[in-house]
């Protein structure tokens, strides 16, 4: 298999994306994760542009890397400077990375209007910059900025810029679709010509996603002969982003037979995607190819029935190859196949022949009222266990009251009182909180912790409300989705409640979350807790 060199620019081009901000520690953590995945070159930033990137390179020197080359990024020298006096080039050398990446102008529009230099001066700037960096024992990756636009404007001059970099000692020549406006067919055609004329050099591709085809453009370039691919994890980057390396790598290796990383490393792709989303504090895109939660999710009953018999019927690959997993969704579109699949996945035996049918009917009734179980699998599991005949109550409500107040200075506080029965014992608790739901959650936990001490580890992580019937104004029904987790943050589950009363909907979702946790963490052997509860 032919090897593809992977060049990741998440830490440089990716951070130019809106809402993407990384600390130095964040960048170091991501770099190590990219290194473990098998990325060959990791572009850490522009050391001459800001203190944060400068600190990153100072830290990177002290770190141990498994196999990746850390790369510093910059531009060719300024027109008025000699290479050895140019602050940008000096910063690249002072970063002490074995590999550097510099960009130069390929498009006469930029040469004459942005740089305001002659054609010949631009070629000198490229050649002298590359030559000086190479003389300082650096591997030089030359990014031909706006190459495809420059080629379409004046192909002879665009080639001349590549030739200047190549003759000066550039190790790789990267064709950049900087504005993201080129189409896959023209990317393929132009890259093929470049590869034919410069067959002694490594040709690369750097695609932006402004036309929604950055991934397709990257694949087209490789198909035409490029063997160096640049991109970012999850496609983050300036404007609409860069080519998504998650998709590019999966396509090149799994679909086209190129070697990018080891099979073991490829199986961590979905985890890498989630890791970068988490560090960037961004919501994952569920529908992302290969790595998204929905990539192998099945909702329609006919689809699920077929997948249970033969996964290839509705899946283009085995999810495990990229570290993802098959998911079956439960909704009003579900059939008995969905329910049986989920029950088996949850380890719930639906013994009676009509239990799956009952579950489907109940789900359809509840979703008609506004419940949504695709994002609330804990509530779905409780529903299944109840239909199976299992006792999921563990406590029952006697009464609750929630009181909120706003002072004249604008400060707000809420107080909740909850009385519940555990067996025949009645317990009452009061709690203050930041808002009524927080207070309600605190009061419920206080009331139950005497009987179930393990609830001390339970946390409410996220709370979402959606109005279901806006036409009914203040009498509208609402759906509440709550995310819960335990103190270690590893176990996460979601529950749902629906009602015209937002506190009632919140109570449903809260209590489902508590019941689910108690069932999931039920001691396998008799403990003081189970003895106390059974004695009630």
Residues 197-217 have a mean pLDDT of 96
Do 372 and 412 lie in one domain? The reply is no
DSSP string, 204-250: EEEEB-TTS-HHHHHHHHHHTT--EEEEBGGG--STT-B-BHHHHHH
Burial 152-168 (b: 16+ CB within 10 A, else e): eebeebbbbbbbbbbeb
Residues 7-12 have a mean pLDDT of 97
Question: Can you give the length of the chain in residues?
Answer: 536
pLDDT of residue 300: 66
pLDDT of residue 530: 54
500: pLDDT strictly greater than 50: yes
pLDDT of residue 87: 94
Q: How far apart are the first and last CA of the chain?
A: 68
Do 410 and 374 lie in one domain? The reply is no
pLDDT of residue 70: 97
Do 256 and 377 lie in one domain? The reply is no
In a domain, 275, yes or no: no
Cβ count near 90 (within 10 Å): 19
**What value does the mean pLDDT of the chain take?**
88
CATH number at residue 159: 3.20.20.70
Range of the domain at 22: 5-261
Among candidate residues 354, 388, 422, the one where a domain is terminated: 388
Do 211 and 148 lie in one domain? The reply is yes
Band of pLDDT at residue 290, cut at 50, 70 and 90? very high
Do 99 and 195 lie in one domain? The reply is yes
Band of pLDDT at residue 185, cut at 50, 70 and 90? very high
Do 312 and 188 lie in one domain? The reply is no
Among candidate residues 367, 388, 409, the one where a domain is terminated: 388
Among candidate residues 332, 362, 388, the one where a domain is terminated: 388
In a domain, 289, yes or no: no
pLDDT of residue 357: 75
In a domain, 276, yes or no: no
Report the distance separating Cα 467 and Cα 500, nearest Å.
Answer: 9
Cβ count near 456 (within 10 Å): 11
Report the distance separating Cα 500 and Cα 475, nearest Å.
Answer: 6
pLDDT of residue 308: 67
pLDDT of residue 325: 82
Band of pLDDT at residue 279, cut at 50, 70 and 90? confident
Q: What is the pLDDT of residues 135-153, one digit of tens each?
A: 999 999 999 999 999 999 9
CATH number at residue 408: 3.30.160.270
In a domain, 279, yes or no: no
Band of pLDDT at residue 73, cut at 50, 70 and 90? very high
How far, in Å, are 12, 30, 39, 179 from residue 233 at the CA level?
A: 12, 10, 11, 19
| DSSP 8-state symbol, 259 | B
CA nearest 210: which of 180, 243, 177, 244? 180
pLDDT of residue 377: 81
In a domain, 273, yes or no: no
Q: What is the three-class DSSP state of 98?
A: coil
Task: Identify whether the C-beta of residue 448 lies closer than 8 Å to the C-beta of residue 468.
Answer: no
CA dihedral 7, 11, 17, 18 (to 10 degrees): 160
pLDDT of residue 332: 45
In a domain, 210, yes or no: yes
Contacts (Cβ under 8 Å, ≥6 apart) of 332: 363, 364, 367, 368
How far, in Å, are 103, 151, 420 from residue 119 at the CA level?
A: 16, 14, 81
Do 83 and 163 lie in one domain? The reply is yes
Do 106 and 169 lie in one domain? The reply is yes
CA nearest 403: which of 395, 413, 411, 388? 413
Do 304 and 225 lie in one domain? The reply is no
Contacts (Cβ under 8 Å, ≥6 apart) of 52: 23, 24, 45
In a domain, 104, yes or no: yes
Range in 9-23, 174-188, 287-301 the model is least confident about: 287-301
Task: Give the highest mean pLDDT range of 21-25, 162-166, 289-293, 467-471.
Answer: 162-166
Do 338 and 421 lie in one domain? The reply is no
Do 384 and 409 lie in one domain? The reply is no
Report the distance separating Cα 305 and Cα 334, nearest Å.
Answer: 10
Q: C-alpha angle with apex 119: 115 to 122, nearest 5 degrees? A: 55
Q: What is the pLDDT of residues 395-418, one digit of tens each?
A: 999 999 998 887 777 778 899 999
Residues 209-231 have a mean pLDDT of 98
Residues 50-68 have a mean pLDDT of 93
Do 176 and 231 lie in one domain? The reply is yes
Q: What is the pLDDT of residues 357-402, one digit of tens each?
A: 777 777 677 767 777 776 678 888 887 777 777 777 889 999 999 9
454: pLDDT strictly greater than 70: yes
Structural domain total, the chain: 3
pLDDT of residue 154: 96
In a domain, 81, yes or no: yes
What values do phi and psi take at 294, rounded to 5? -90, 0
pLDDT of residue 465: 86
Share of the chain above pLDDT 70, in %: 90
pLDDT of residue 251: 97
What values do phi and psi take at 499, rounded to 5? -175, 155
Rounded to two decimals, what is the model's pTM? 0.70
Residues forming a β-bridge with 176:
206
Q: What is the pLDDT of residues 79-130, one digit of tens each?
A: 999 999 999 999 999 999 999 999 999 999 989 998 899 999 999 999 999 9
Residues 461-490 have a mean pLDDT of 81
Q: What is the three-class DSSP state of 460?
A: strand
Report the distance separating Cα 331 and Cα 366, nearest Å.
Answer: 9
180: pLDDT strictly greater than 50: yes
């Amino acid at each position: 298999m032919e090897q593809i060199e992977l060049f990741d620019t998440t830490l440089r081009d990716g951070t130019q994306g809106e809402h993407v901000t990384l600390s130095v520690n964040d960048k170091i953590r991501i770099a190590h994760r990219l290194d473990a995945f098998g990325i060959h070159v990791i572009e850490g930033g522009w050391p001459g542009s800001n203190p944060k990137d400068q600190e990153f390179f100072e830290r990177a020197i002290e770190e141990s890397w498994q196999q990746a080359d850390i790369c510093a990024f910059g531009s060719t020298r300024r027109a008025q400077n000699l290479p050895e006096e140019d602050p940008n080039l000096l910063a690249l050398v002072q970063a002490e990375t074995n590999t550097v990446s510099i960009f130069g102008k390929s498009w006469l529009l930029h040469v004459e209007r942005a740089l305001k230099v002659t054609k010949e001066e631009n070629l000198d700037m490229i050649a002298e910059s590359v030559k000086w960096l190479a003389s300082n024992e650096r591997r030089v990756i030359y990014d031909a900025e706006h190459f495809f636009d420059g080629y379409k404007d004046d192909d002879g001059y665009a080639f001349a810029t590549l030739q200047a970099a190549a003759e000066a000692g550039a190790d790789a020549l990267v064709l950049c679709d900087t504005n993201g406006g080129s189409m896959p067919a023209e990317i393929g055609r132009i890259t093929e010509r470049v590869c034919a004329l410069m067959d002694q050099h490594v040709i690369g591709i750097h695609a932006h996603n402004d036309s929604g085809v950055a991934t397709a453009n990257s694949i087209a370039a490789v198909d035409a002969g490029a063997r160096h691919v640049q991109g970012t994890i999850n496609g983050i980057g300036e404007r609409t982003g860069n080519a998504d390396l998650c998709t590019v790598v999966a396509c090149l290796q799994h679909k086209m037979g190129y070697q990018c990383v080891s099979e073991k490393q490829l199986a961590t792709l979905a985890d890498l995607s989630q890791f970068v989303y988490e560090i960037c504090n961004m919501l994952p895109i569920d529908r992302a190819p290969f790595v998204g939660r929905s990539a192998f999710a099945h909702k329609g009953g006919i689809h699920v029935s077929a997948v249970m018999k033969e996964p290839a019927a509705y899946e283009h690959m085995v999810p495990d190859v990229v570290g993802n997993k098959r998911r079956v969704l439960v909704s009003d579109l579900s059939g008995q196949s969905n329910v049986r699949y989920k029950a088996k996945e949850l380890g719930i035996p639906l013994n009676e022949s009509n239990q799956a049918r009952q579950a489907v009917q109940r789900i359809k009734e509840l979703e008609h009222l506004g419940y949504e179980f695709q994002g609330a699998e804990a509530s779905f599991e409780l529903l299944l266990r109840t239909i199976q005949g299992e006792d999921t109550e563990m406590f029952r409500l006697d009464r609750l009251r929630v009181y909120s107040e706003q002072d004249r200075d604008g400060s707000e506080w809420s107080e909740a009182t909850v009385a519940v029965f555990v067996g025949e014992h009645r317990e009452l608790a009061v709690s203050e909180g930041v808002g009524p739901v927080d207070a309600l959650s605190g009061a419920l936990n206080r009331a139950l912790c005497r009987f179930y001490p393990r609830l001390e580890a339970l946390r409410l992580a996220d709370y979402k409300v959606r109005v279901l019937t806006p036409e009914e104004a203040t009498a509208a029904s609402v759906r509440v989705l709550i995310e819960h987790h335990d103190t270690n943050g590893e176990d996460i589950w979601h529950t749902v409640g629906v009602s015209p009363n937002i506190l009632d909907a919140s109570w449903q979702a809260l209590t489902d979350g508590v019941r689910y946790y108690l069932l999931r963490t039920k001691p396998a052997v008799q403990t003081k807790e189970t003895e106390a509860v059974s004695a009630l």
